[in-house]
Amino acid sequence: MKKHLGYFSLPVAVAIGATLVASSAFAQTVDTARIEAAGQNDWLTYHGSYKSHHYSPLAQINTSNVGNLGVAWMHIPGKSTRGVQSMPLVADGVLYYTGSYSRTFALNGATGELIWHYFPELDEALIKRQTHSPYNRGVALGEGKVYVGTVDGRLIALDAKTGRVAWDTKLIDSQKLTVGFTGAPLYAKGLVIIGAQGGEWPGRGPIFAIDAATGKKKWEFLTVAGTDEAMKTWGGDSWRTGGGGGWMPGTYDSETNTLLWGTANPAPLYDWSGADYKTQGARPGDNLYTSSVIGLDIDTGKLKFYHQELPHDAWDFDSAVGEFVMLERDGQKLIVHPNKGGFIFVYDRNLAVKNVWRLVQNINFVKDIDPKTGALIGRRDFTAGKVTDPPLCPFIGGGISWNAGSYSPKTGLYYKIGQEWCMTLDVQKTTPVTSPQVQLNIGADFKMAPPPGGEIYGHLDARDPVTGVKKWEVRYPEPPLGSVLSTAGNLVFVPDSRGTIHAYDAETGTELWNHNNGTGHQGGIVSYSVGGKQYIAVTAGFGGMLADEYGPNFGGIYKSMPRDDGMLVVFSLK
């Protein structure tokens, strides 16, 4: 929380010199218009731009020369409990990223030299009690500041030039609710927006909008029963403990002045109500607005529209994951958004369903989802007891995990990782741990299992984002967990779980280059340019609730893969 001047004096001194080297245009502010424009040299927000393409228009590195890609520099953040999971951001030649414990670094994008670092003081006792911590998934940039959330419920603004704390706002009583912030914030229109964790924890999934300049809270929207209408969808006042955190960053649609955000599953995770879920169980009803995408007026935080992708989600296939790809097709402005259950939803800009298609083959929590209405067909709801034949598909890690796919406006293809795995379950009527501090409430024991009649695997698909028609596919023996990047150099980069980063031809899927980083990837990947040179930056480092499943289930390299370790690796042409 506090920086000690004596301790930090040396890095700050280095910062001044390095900043001058990195860019003479450092003073350029990052604002809504600049993020909207998504200048090709930068990577200004988690999803790359408000359009969420995770695409770089840089083409210096391309299909003809990617074979010459080599490591330009690396950075080791240290104390990387549960690996490095963040998405780097880049503005004016300075790269910002976070490690575990919200440790934030500003580095010269060309050389990796440290400009400044900030290690917040966190409540260590609280962190030890949290099940989903202490990793952090990135920062937001805006108005000369770097914004980072903490697992003890604070949002902190740092001066982008010096790393000094500009403001530090406590938003969540994490001592009581256990959860804090792990996802990256979003900067838009003078606000910093961030959602709390909280799928399986009995809170109400608040999304906060904070004044970017002052740190004062402007509004708060509760993703659980945030309206009177929604409150009626929670039987027995179960809205008080509904979960539903918006734990990953959404995006901003300036044309409609709307903040788009995804929300998590309700708590408890596995409900035992069976087919009577509308009236029975721990949380009777549809449980609005969990496992939904919501559109909020960015000025007021008022709900404008929503679509609940999974009413009464009883499978942990929430909608907080993934990007909101904005594109145009036949004169229609569309949004493409993945759901953890393995389906891709296509919406208009008011979140009306235009299509739903399957990325993943092994899905049996529903028979299908109506592509015209988004209605679930043939739900599979559980009562207490074992679920083994067939196992539930996909696995709790999701048919789609939280990291981002990529859309290339150049090829018109959407590159997305699918995960083919299932699980056996023993659903239990648990007594949740709530006093004095809530704990994760899964409500079941579970075990990874292969799909019926097949094997576990992961795949990168190149598909039409609107129709889902597949152009090509690359398979992996274990599901990759990192983000995907496409570039104007007709390349698609996939950092996989074994530790290899692959570059594919964006049109054909032919592998053109790979490099072993020595540890699994489960974070972000971006491209940027400094001094006319293009770089690819990727975070590496494995560990956490999902990655820890790899050793016992897949063995091999995962048994010896380092835990609580990680790094940032940056590549350029040799």
Partner 1 sequence: MKTILPFMVGAVIGLIGSAQARPLDAIRSTGVLGLCAHPNSLPFANKAGDPPGFQVELGQALARELGVSLELDWIITRYQMRSAGCDILLDVIADREAQGETNLRISKPYYRTGVVLAVPPASKLTSFKSLDGHTKVGVLVGSFAAMVISQRRVPTSTFGFEIDSLEAVANHEIDAAAVTPTAASYFNLTHPDKALRILDRDESEANLNWNVAVGMVRPDDSLRDAIDGALERLRADGTVERIYRRYGVILQSPK
Which one, 169 or 280, has the nearer CB to partner 1? 280
In the complex, what is the shortest distance from the CB of residue 109 to partner 1, in angstroms, rounded to a whole number? Answer: 35
What is the Cα Rg of the chain in Å?
22
Q: Does 406 sit near partner 1 (CB under 8 A)?
A: no
Q: Does 555 sit near partner 1 (CB under 8 A)?
A: no
Q: Does 127 sit near partner 1 (CB under 8 A)?
A: no
Q: Which residues contact 56 (CB under 8 A, 6 or more apart)?
A: 40, 43, 48, 485, 486, 487, 488, 526, 527, 528
Q: Does 231 sit near partner 1 (CB under 8 A)?
A: no
| Part in contact with partner 1 (CB under 8 A); list of ranges 230-238, 251-259, 318-326, 496-504 | 230-238
- Locate 458 and state its tokens: 């992961």
Which one, 40 or 439, has the nearer CB to partner 1? 439
In the complex, what is the shortest distance from the CB of residue 491 to partner 1, in angstroms, rounded to a whole number? Answer: 35
Pick one of 434, 471, 514, 557: the residue that binds partner 1 (CB under 8 A): 434
Phi then psi for residue 485, to 5 deg, are -130, 135
Sites for partner 1 among residues 277-316 (CB under 8 A):
282-283
In the complex, what is the shortest distance from the CB of residue 149 to partner 1, in angstroms, rounded to a whole number? Answer: 22
Sites for partner 1 among residues 445-484 (CB under 8 A):
445-446
| Part in contact with partner 1 (CB under 8 A); list of ranges 7-15, 43-51, 55-63, 264-272 | 264-272
In the complex, what is the shortest distance from the CB of residue 430 to partner 1, in angstroms, rounded to a whole number? Answer: 4
The enclosing H or E element of 145 equals strand 145-149
State how far the Cα of 154 lies from the Cα of 431, in Å rounded to an integer. 29
Which one, 200 or 309, has the nearer CB to partner 1? 200
Pick one of 129, 304, 349, 380: the residue that binds partner 1 (CB under 8 A): 129
Contact characters 136-175, partner 1, x per CB under 8 A: ---------------------------------------x
Asked about 505 being catalytic, the answer comes back as: no
Q: Does 438 sit near partner 1 (CB under 8 A)?
A: yes
Q: Does 232 sit near partner 1 (CB under 8 A)?
A: no
In the complex, what is the shortest distance from the CB of residue 391 to partner 1, in angstroms, rounded to a whole number? Answer: 15
Q: Which pairing describes strands 55-56 and 485-487: parallel, antiparallel, or unpaired?
A: parallel
| Part in contact with partner 1 (CB under 8 A); list of ranges 256-264, 288-296, 371-379, 433-441 | 433-441
In 3-state terms, what secondary structure has residue 37? helix
Pick one of 11, 120, 202, 342: the residue that binds partner 1 (CB under 8 A): 202
The DSSP letter of residue 548 is G
Exposure string of 227-250, with b = 16+ CB inside 10 Å and e = fewer, is eeebbebbbeebbebbbbbbbbbb
| Helices (H), ranges, 286-433 | none
From residue 193, give the alpha-carbon distance in Å to each of 19, 203, 241, 468: 28, 18, 22, 31
Q: Does 440 sit near partner 1 (CB under 8 A)?
A: yes
Q: Are 421 and 400 in contact (CB under 8 A)?
A: no
Pick one of 172, 400, 444, 526: the residue that binds partner 1 (CB under 8 A): 444
Task: Give me the residues paired with residue 69 across strands.
Answer: 573
Q: Does 134 sit near partner 1 (CB under 8 A)?
A: no
Which one, 369 or 444, has the nearer CB to partner 1? 444
| Part in contact with partner 1 (CB under 8 A); list of ranges 14-22, 126-134, 409-417, 513-521 | 126-134
Q: Does 276 sit near partner 1 (CB under 8 A)?
A: no
In degrees, to the nearest 5, what angle opens at C-alpha 498 toward C-alphas 315 and 319? 25
Task: Give me the residues paired with residue 418 across strands.
Answer: 459
Rounded-to-10 torsion of CA 265, 269, 275, 281: -110
Estimate to the nearest angstrom the gap between the alpha carbon of 106 and the chain centroid: 21
Q: Does 436 sit near partner 1 (CB under 8 A)?
A: yes
State how far the Cα of 404 lies from the Cα of 446, in Å rounded to an integer. 26
State how far the Cα of 192 lies from the Cα of 555, in Å rounded to an integer. 42
| Part in contact with partner 1 (CB under 8 A); list of ranges 19-27, 147-155, 216-224, 233-241 | 233-241
Query: SS3 string of 443-506?
Result: CEEEEEECCCCCCCEEEEEEECCCCCCEEEEEEECCCCCCCCEEECCCEEEEECCCCEEEEEEC
| Part in contact with partner 1 (CB under 8 A); list of ranges 38-46, 84-92, 517-525, 544-552 | 544-552
Which one of 316, 318, 496, 565 is the catalytic residue? 316
In the complex, what is the shortest distance from the CB of residue 196 to partner 1, in angstroms, rounded to a whole number? Answer: 14
Residues forming the site for partner 1 (CB under 8 A) = 125, 128-129, 131, 175-176, 202-203, 236-241, 267-269, 282-283, 428-446, 545, 548-549
Catalytic residues, by residue number, are 316
